[in-house]
Amino acid sequence: MYLAEEAAKAAATTSNINTFDWFMLAFTVLIAIGLVRLLMARPKKNVFAIGFATVSFLVFAFSDYVMITESWMK
């Protein structure tokens, strides 16, 4: 009984969130801000930069989704 109680305490105190996870979320937010700024450019839009930022944002957003659902929600 004592061992089960200690195992439950240890499971409750360990975290699945790493420092790298926070950097991934921060970079996703930065990419999103950059994408919005590119889309709001008035005189002439840089189509290549918009495409690159869109693909980068989609990749980072998908990796964040997988990271949160698979790692954090366990």
Q: Give CA separation, 55 vs 1, 4, 14, 28, 71, in Å.
A: 52, 47, 34, 12, 23
pLDDT digits (tens, 9 = 90+) for 38-63: 999 999 999 999 999 999 999 999 99
Tokens linked to 72: 């954090």
Counting residues of the chain whose pLDDT is more than 90, the rounded percentage is: 66
pLDDT digits (tens, 9 = 90+) for 19-37: 899 999 999 999 999 999 9
7 vs 38: which has the higher pLDDT: 38
The answer to whether 71 touches 21, Cβ cutoff 8 Å, is yes
Measured distance CA(15)–CA(73) in Å, rounded: 10
**pLDDT > 90? residue 3:** no
Helix axes 47-66, 19-39, angle to 10 degrees: 150
Give the per-residue pLDDT at 10: 62
Give the per-residue pLDDT at 66: 94
